[in-house]
Structure 1
Amino acid sequence: MNAAELKQDLIAYSKSIGIDKIGFAQATVFEELKQRLIVHEQKGYMSGFEEPDIEKRTNPDLLVPGAKSIISIALAYPSKLKDAPRSTKEDRRGIFCRASWGQDYHDVLRDRLKKLEAYILEKLPDAELKSMVDTGELSDRAAAERAGIGWSGKNCAIITPEFGSYVYLGEIITNIALPPDTPMEDRCGSCTICVDACPTGALVQGGQLDSSKCIAFLTQTKGFLEERYRKKLGNRLYGCDTCQTVCPENKGKDFHLHPEMEPDPEIAKPKLKPLLTMSNREFKEKFGHVSGSWRGKKPIQRNAIIALAHFKDTTAVPELTFLMQKDPRPVIRGTAAWALGVIGEAASLPDLKKALQQEQDEEARAEMEKGLALLQQ
């Protein structure tokens, strides 16, 4: 079997194991990306979650010596939540972004990549292969763009003609030489809808993201959230979909092709108040299988408190008061105190004053003072 035949064979096999799109690229250095990342780093736009070594992010040969090709794959995920539960005055709800619906996509894509690897090794036992999904060194988007999966949109997502940007990406770097596909032309044109709609202005310009301002990043941080971002958070518990939902290329795109990706409405859009006092075990049992759980319950609980403040939910005052008084974590105590101030129930005033007198943590004290000031207004 020659290289062209092997490529066609891999395309056919990929469809049989539930890969929605596959593309092939040469494993040369991503020079343009390298220069962009250098500027990105200089401007302080990194999130801290990515691979810090720019060389590893842009040079496949450092990951697989003698690398010749990159096989990029994409799996489409749902964009519409069937039977979505309604948020009520008594039971307000938060929302996880679409990339955290269903089973953790890292696991789903790794399953497909392992099957593809095993198939290649049956044909070529001496092949060198390295698979990656999201947390690997190489940029998934750069690989997918070069492999013709889609173009790199101004919302910093790969946009495919078939599935829009609602796709998960993964890739295999290999020393097998396979005929490359042709990259797609950029179809964003002069459209700036996503840039204009970004709640925090994190999309600095088309295709450039200041991660430190991105709500998707901010929801995953563990410390106090800067006050200027709290109103922007709304009821988001993990991630942000705004730059995808406003994209014209995503209009009408909703694919339910993989049972593992089907969301449980009660997990994708959970009630906020039960989240506040959930134990680690309860959190892992309910949310442990979704990608949004990877940072643990603390960021989710902090975001749930901010969401209750967003709703000015007076029914949550008892739970928030308990957290302010009893929770061992300063971030939770302080954020709960601030939320009580935003909700504005006068009955919270004595509790806030008492909590402030007892509080030892400086940052938590500052939040309690903010809460008091809001109440006294």
Structure 2
Amino acid sequence: MNIEQFKQEVIAYSKEIGIDKIGFTSANTFEELKQRLIRQQELGYQSGFEEPDIEKRVTPVKLLPKASSIISIALAYPSKLKNAPKSTKEERRGIFCRASWGQDYHTVLRDRLGKLENFLKERIPEIQVKSMVDTGELSDRAVAERAGIGWSGKNCAIITPEFGSYVYLGEMITNFPFPPDTPMEDQCGSCTKCLDVCPTGALVQGGQLNASKCIAFLTQTKGFLADEYRTKIGNRIYGCDTCQTVCPVNKGKDFHFHEEMEADPEIAKPKLKPLLTISNKDFKEKFGHISGSWRGKKPLQRNAILALAHFKDTTALPDLILLMKQDPRPVIRGTAAWAIGKIGGEDVEKELLNAFEKETDEEVKLEIEKGLKLIKKN
């Protein structure tokens, strides 16, 4: 078999099944990444969602013993919402990041990788493959960078010349020796826009992220959000796009190639107040198909409370007072108490004091006290 010719056949087939960009690299150990990951671990910059075993993250042969090459794929996703609903004073809305619009991208990319696997197995029945998307051991970005999909931007995203950083990534390790592609030159130059606007300073320097401070990570945590970040969330329900939206390469980039990625505007920009009391059943029905639902409804409800506080939405006070008094979850009761104080208004001090008298959870009591102090600042 002519290896280069087979590679071209794979590229042609990838276009047929809706893969927007494909690249190939060796299955050699990611030595530079290994050093970076060790350093990140030492600095405490990890999110905790990563594969804990660094060796697995950088050594493809640990995942597929006879690994010879890796295929990297990229699918472009939309950056602009069609028919986006407007937030009004009576009905404030939150926002999901673009990577959570449409069907869960893990499902979409696994579908494309599955088709690619079948194509390879039809041509070479004995071929060995192992595919992964996001939650796999390998770093999607490190693979994509080495496979020439794009360069690793200062915002820690892979930036492609064609689609900017609005791409989902996945990869397939194989024992077939595909000829590798050439990595791209870094094209960020002296631009530091993403570093300058990061809301929490999570981008420590170009290409280095303190994940524990990143809003995209913080919106996925389940406990109380640290005070210093509560006013930085804005109306974000899940994720953060700031370092992408300011990137000059992303200007004007908006691709609607895949039906599954098209967003329902009412889901991408949901009304905040209904989120506060949504049942588990309704949450699964409405949001279960998007990637932003993977942590369940509690973090999203907590973020919705913070968003209402951000808007100082007095129309939400009755709902928030009810949550503070009746919700069984301390994080929701406490965050509601903080938000009530942040919004302020008539009689809220009395409500907070009444709640404090009846509250048994010490953390929630602390949040009520914070709420009472915020009223005095209003």
What TM-score does the superposition give when structure 2 sets the normalisation length? 0.99
Partner of 1:176, secondary structure, is coil
Q: Which amino acid aligns with 1:107?
A: T
- The equivalent of 1:238 in structure 2 is 238
1:148-159 map, 5 Å: 148-159=148-159
2:176 is aligned with 1:176: yes
Q: Which runs of 5+ in 2 are unaligned?
A: none
Partner of 1:233, secondary structure, is coil
Partner of 2:347, secondary structure, is helix
- The equivalent of 1:137 in structure 2 is 137
1:264-303 map, 5 Å: 264-303=264-303
2:330 is aligned with 1:330: yes
- The equivalent of 2:344 in structure 1 is 344
Post-superposition CA distance 1:38-81 (Å, at most 9, x none) = 00000000000010011000000000001100000000000000
- The equivalent of 1:42 in structure 2 is 42
Tell me if structure 2 keeps the 8 A contact 1:132–1:172.
yes
Tell me if structure 2 keeps the 8 A contact 1:346–1:375.
no
- The equivalent of 2:76 in structure 1 is 76
1:52-67 map, 5 Å: 52-67=52-67
Return the alpha-carbon distance in structure 2 between the equivalents of residues 282 and 345 of structure 1. 31
The alpha carbon displacement at 1:346 in A equals 2.6
- The equivalent of 2:205 in structure 1 is 205
- The equivalent of 2:9 in structure 1 is 9
What TM-score does the superposition give when structure 1 sets the normalisation length? 0.99
- The equivalent of 1:223 in structure 2 is 223
Post-superposition CA distance 1:219-274 (Å, at most 9, x none) = 00000001110111000000000000000000000000000000000000000000
1:10-25 map, 5 Å: 10-25=10-25
Return the alpha-carbon distance in structure 2 between the equivalents of residues 346 and 209 of structure 1. 43
The alpha carbon displacement at 1:347 in A equals 1.3
Q: Which amino acid aligns with 2:10?
A: L
Identity %: 75
Return the alpha-carbon distance in structure 2 between the equivalents of residues 257 and 358 of structure 1. 54
The alpha carbon displacement at 1:145 in A equals 0.3
Count, aligned residues = 377
Q: Which amino acid aligns with 1:40?
A: Q
Partner of 2:232, secondary structure, is helix
Return the alpha-carbon distance in structure 1 between the equivalents of residues 342 and 283 of structure 2. 27
- The equivalent of 1:124 in structure 2 is 124
The alpha carbon displacement at 1:2 in A equals 1.6
- The equivalent of 2:320 in structure 1 is 320
2:102 is aligned with 1:115: no
Q: Which amino acid aligns with 1:267?
A: I
Post-superposition CA distance 1:198-232 (Å, at most 9, x none) = 00000000000000100000000000001110111
Partner of 1:173, secondary structure, is strand
Q: Which amino acid aligns with 1:176?
A: F
Tell me if structure 2 keeps the 8 A contact 1:26–1:70.
yes
The alpha carbon displacement at 1:120 in A equals 0.2
Post-superposition CA distance 1:330-352 (Å, at most 9, x none) = 00000000000000113112111
Return the alpha-carbon distance in structure 2 between the equivalents of residues 226 and 110 of structure 1. 35
Return the alpha-carbon distance in structure 1 between the equivalents of residues 150 and 374 of structure 2. 48
* CA-atom RMSD in angstroms: 0.6
Return the alpha-carbon distance in structure 2 between the equivalents of residues 190 and 29 of structure 1. 30
Q: Which amino acid aligns with 1:241?
A: D
Q: Which runs of 5+ in 1 are unaligned?
A: none
- The equivalent of 1:357 in structure 2 is 357
Return the alpha-carbon distance in structure 1 between the equivalents of residues 217 and 37 of structure 2. 18
Q: Which amino acid aligns with 1:326?
A: Q
- The equivalent of 2:51 in structure 1 is 51
The alpha carbon displacement at 1:376 in A equals 3.4
Q: Which amino acid aligns with 2:252?
A: G
Partner of 1:65, secondary structure, is coil
Return the alpha-carbon distance in structure 1 between the equivalents of residues 212 and 301 of structure 2. 20
The alpha carbon displacement at 1:373 in A equals 1.5
Return the alpha-carbon distance in structure 1 between the equivalents of residues 181 and 237 of structure 2. 38
